[in-house]
Amino acid sequence: DTEVTQTPKHLVMGMTNKKSLKCEQHMGHRAMYWYKQKAKKPPELMFVYSYEKLSINESVPSRFSPECPNSSLLNLHLHALQPEDSALYLCASSQPSGYEQYFGPGTRLTVT
Amino acid sequence: KQEVTQIPAALSVPEGENLVLNCSFTDSAIYNLQWFRQDPGKGLTSLLLIQSSQREQTSGRLNASLDKSSGRSTLYIAASQPGDSATYLCAVFMEYGNKLVFGAGTILRVKS
């Protein structure tokens, strides 16, 4: 099973809302990633968790808060987002340090 | 800072043609290079992973090559089909920094 699942598929939220994105994998991978992708652009790395510890934060605003409760789950908590945060949010997983990354289908987020 | 460039930005070919997509990178300190396919609004599908010590990888009608010293990779697609229409992204995993750096992608359209 090489599947990474993400929920929800679509999310519309107001600028004062709090919501969460969820990502799950059962491949035994110990590295998990959040990417943001705007239309017609490549994915941009946001966060990397390695062995359930945050190892990379690409200077992401604090209105995005990642959480890795266990080795299979990755959450992204959203609060007080701006319309420019509307994008496709992709989760990926791999073994740490340079192994093949597997991506989920993404969550399409619209901030109104 | 690593920069990944993909040429051409877009390509339209008739069905059945063999085609080559190009990827170049400025810093040869990479663990591997990965080619992905992305359909509109969807996640990324991993096509091929080439380790830095390898020269090429093949999967079905796809063949990817890597020349690490010159900072170049090509993705060869044989006997193209309309179902191959998608955006193709290459990404390098850095020896330092534990992250993928993406090119901007090549948008491929195969006409029937």
Q: Which of B45, B97, B102 sits opposite A42 (nearest CB)?
A: B102
Cβ contacts of A39 on chain B, cutoff 8 Å: none
E strand or H helix that includes residue B45 = strand B44-51
pLDDT band of residue A1 (cuts 50, 70, 90) is: low
pLDDT band of residue B104 (cuts 50, 70, 90) is: very high
Chain A residue with Cα closest to B50: A100
pLDDT in tens, A19-46: 999 999 999 999 999 999 999 999 999 9
- Checking if the pLDDT of B35 tops 70, the result is yes
The reported pLDDT for the residue numbered B43 is 92
The reported pLDDT for the residue numbered B93 is 93
- Checking if the pLDDT of B94 tops 70, the result is yes
Q: What is the mean pLDDT of residues A68-82?
A: 96
Answer yes or no: are the C-beta atoms of A96 and A28 closer than 8 Å.
Answer: no
The reported pLDDT for the residue numbered A99 is 84
Q: What is the mean pLDDT of residues B22-33?
A: 94
- Checking if the pLDDT of A98 tops 90, the result is no
The three-class DSSP label of residue A50 is strand
Beta strands in chain A (DSSP E): 4-7, 10-13, 18-25, 31-37, 44-50, 53-57, 64-70, 73-79, 87-94, 102-103, 107-111
Answer yes or no: are the C-beta atoms of B31 and B93 closer than 8 Å.
Answer: yes
- With a CB cutoff of 8 Å and minimum separation 6, the contacts of A48 are A31, A32, A33, A54, A55, A56, B98, B99
- With a CB cutoff of 8 Å and minimum separation 6, the contacts of A70 are A52
Answer yes or no: are the C-beta atoms of A95 and A83 closer than 8 Å.
Answer: no
Is there a contact between B49 and A100 if contact means CB atoms under 8 Å apart?
yes
Q: What is the mean pLDDT of residues B86-97?
A: 91
Cβ contacts of B93 on chain A, cutoff 8 Å: 98
Report residue A17 as tokens. Answer: 């809302």
* Interface mutation vs chain A, best among B36, B100, B101, B106, most A CBs within 10 Å: B100
pLDDT band of residue B22 (cuts 50, 70, 90) is: very high
Q: What is the mean pLDDT of residues B96-101?
A: 83
pLDDT band of residue B50 (cuts 50, 70, 90) is: very high
The three-class DSSP label of residue B11 is strand
- With a CB cutoff of 8 Å and minimum separation 6, the contacts of A61 are none
